[in-house]
Structure 1
Amino acid sequence: MKIGQRRSKQRELILEELRGLTCHPTADELYELVRKRISNISLGTVYRNLELLAASGVILKLESGGKNRFDGTAEPHPHIRCTQCGRVDDVMQQVDVTTLDDKSSRGYDIKGCNIEYFGICPDCMSSSH
């Protein structure tokens, strides 16, 4: 982990827990998991470390949908979000994204692109029947 800060056992544990998940938890959800291993860790510590890891490109911060979610896989990849419960999963398919020409980019210096699909997850569909 290279993020321009000194090593931290708490940060390393937060990253380990996040990378061990297939879901994309909120900071609160990850805090509940980390607390099982470090009982005296604070929610603020989890938030600060997630923000630091995201800002340094070690993890992804998914900011759409009202609540920030975090992804231990830092390489850009598409996601799918449930519009009812907010669950986020990876899309396991390559998605082709065209680059914008100068006219289409409207003067922006393009840094990247996020692809997110949305729908209703299987759990929400089965609970509504």
Structure 2
Amino acid sequence: MAVQFEKKTRMTPQRRVILDELRRTNNHPAADEIYERVRKRLPKISLGTVYRNLDVLCELGEIQRLELSGAMKHYDGIPKKHYHIRCVCCERVDDAPIAPLNELEDDLYSTTVFEIIGHNLEFTGLCPQCARQRNQQQATG
């Protein structure tokens, strides 16, 4: 997939590595996790550089910043609209396997004076590991 950038924004080596690392994973890492992964390939990169480049990649529409309730910011290498499910225990974030509800935005657009620019839908629950731990604790307690 070719990456389109405005003339003023170069694809720097740091940006390329950050984007590559995000697209290699589907676990929606936080900035500090991305920093640790990128440092393996670029040992001299700083956390500040990672944060700045994550912001640029978000502005360019190459990645998504997930600002989910009750959780630190996570990043998603898939820029297209989709939903997420977050574990309320360990904060794990996965993709929710449902199609975007585009008709919901269309319905709201026709009934409000707001200009609809998007929506967020977050599901919460327990990931399989946290659910197992809770069930084991309940069984022994």
TM over 0.5: same fold? Answer: yes
**1:64 corresponds to which residue?**
68
Equivalent residue number for residue 84 of structure 1: 89
Does 1:23 pair with 2:27?
yes
When normalised by structure 1's length, the TM-score is 0.90
What one-letter code is carried by the residue in structure 2 that aligns with 1:9?
A: P
Q: 8 Å contact 1:57–1:74 — kept in the other structure?
A: yes
CA RMSD between the two structures: 1.5
Please list the CA deviations of residues 19-43 of structure 1 after superposition, one character each: whole Å capped at 9, or x if unmatched: 0001000000111111111111100
Shift, 1:85, TM fit: 1.3
1:43-122 to structure 2, matched below 5 A, reads: 43-65=47-69, 66-96=71-101, 97-98=103-104, 99=106, 100-103=108-111, 105=112, 107-122=113-128
| Greater helix content | 2
Name the aligned partner's letter for residue 76 of structure 1.
K
Shift >6 Å, 4+ stretches: none
CA distance in 1, matches of 2:123, 2:32: 24
Structure 2: gaps spanning 5 or more residues: 137-141
- State how far apart, in whole Å, the 2-side matches of 1:54 and 1:45 are: 14
Question: Equivalent pairs: percent with the same residue?
Answer: 43
Q: Which amino acid is 2:4 matched to? A: K
Pick which of 93-102 and 70-79 moved more.
93-102
Verify the 8 A CA contact 2:81 2:100 in the aligned structure 1.
no
Larger Rg, first or second structure (1 or 2): 2
Per-residue CA deviation, residues 30-84 of structure 1 (Å, 9 max, x unaligned), is 1111111111110011111111111111111101233110000000001111111
